[in-house]
Amino acid sequence: MDILSRDKQIEVIAALTEGVRATARLVGVNRETVGKLALQVGKCCAELHDRRMVGIRVARIELDELWSFVGKKQKRVKRHEAFSKGDQYVFTALASTQKAIISYRIGKRDGANTDDFVQDLRGRVLGAPEISTDGWNSYKLSIRDAFRNSAHGVVVKTLAVTDLRKDAAHRRSPCAVER
């Protein structure tokens, strides 16, 4: 990081939404240097979040997960890679009104990660907020254990395909959501 000027570091960070390889190409910096800078900035952002997002009082929190994969899709993961590769989820706790991410966790979608995520959230929030989640079963027990007096509701989404062409079944297509 010492070799990049402050202006070049800012240029790299601004371009990171394009991905590490694209950023390296766009700003003319080695891919490893981009990766190291991204890691350093990420650690600083996590540290800032941990320091600032405590003692939060909110009325309503929404919990959800975002699917992704690391290295390869789950069906191609070998047994010895199961922990670090394949399906990964970003768990997020969003303050509904303020639109602030109070807590987050990245990992497999299992009971242990759900517990750790909800316990971290409990440590950041004061009082007993209303909590809404999707139907992921592990939320029920984790929330009951961490937030004894909070109201927990499950939002059930019913998806209806609006594009009935044959190829719509093989790709992501827009759908209507009914609550």
Q: Is residue 45 part of a domain?
A: yes
Q: Clarify whether residues 32 and 87 are in a common domain.
A: no
Q: What pLDDT was estimated at residue 176? A: 59
Q: What pLDDT was estimated at residue 157? A: 72
Q: Clarify whether residues 107 and 145 are in a common domain.
A: yes
Q: Clarify whether residues 77 and 147 are in a common domain.
A: yes
Nearest-CA neighbor of 20 among 5, 42, 3, 2?
Answer: 42
Q: Clarify whether residues 74 and 146 are in a common domain.
A: yes
Please, which residues have CB within 8 angstroms of residue 3's CB and are 6 or more apart in sequence? 33
Report the domain count for the chain: 2
Does residue 105 contact residue 117 with C-beta atoms inside 8 Å?
yes
For each of the chain's 179 residues, which pLDDT tens digit applies?
458 899 999 999 888 888 889 999 999 999 999 999 999 999 999 999 999 999 999 999 999 999 998 888 888 888 888 878 888 999 999 999 999 999 999 999 999 999 999 999 999 999 999 999 998 899 999 999 999 878 888 887 766 666 666 555 555 555 555 55
Q: Is residue 163 part of a domain?
A: no
Q: Clarify whether residues 87 and 47 are in a common domain.
A: no
Q: What pLDDT was estimated at residue 173? A: 56
Q: What pLDDT was estimated at residue 161? A: 61
pTM of the model: 0.77
Q: What pLDDT was estimated at residue 167? A: 59
Q: What pLDDT was estimated at residue 178? A: 57
Measured CA to CA, the distance from residue 120 to residue 104 in angstroms comes to: 8
Q: What pLDDT was estimated at residue 162? A: 63
For residue 18, the enclosing domain spans 6-52
Does residue 105 contact residue 81 with C-beta atoms inside 8 Å?
no
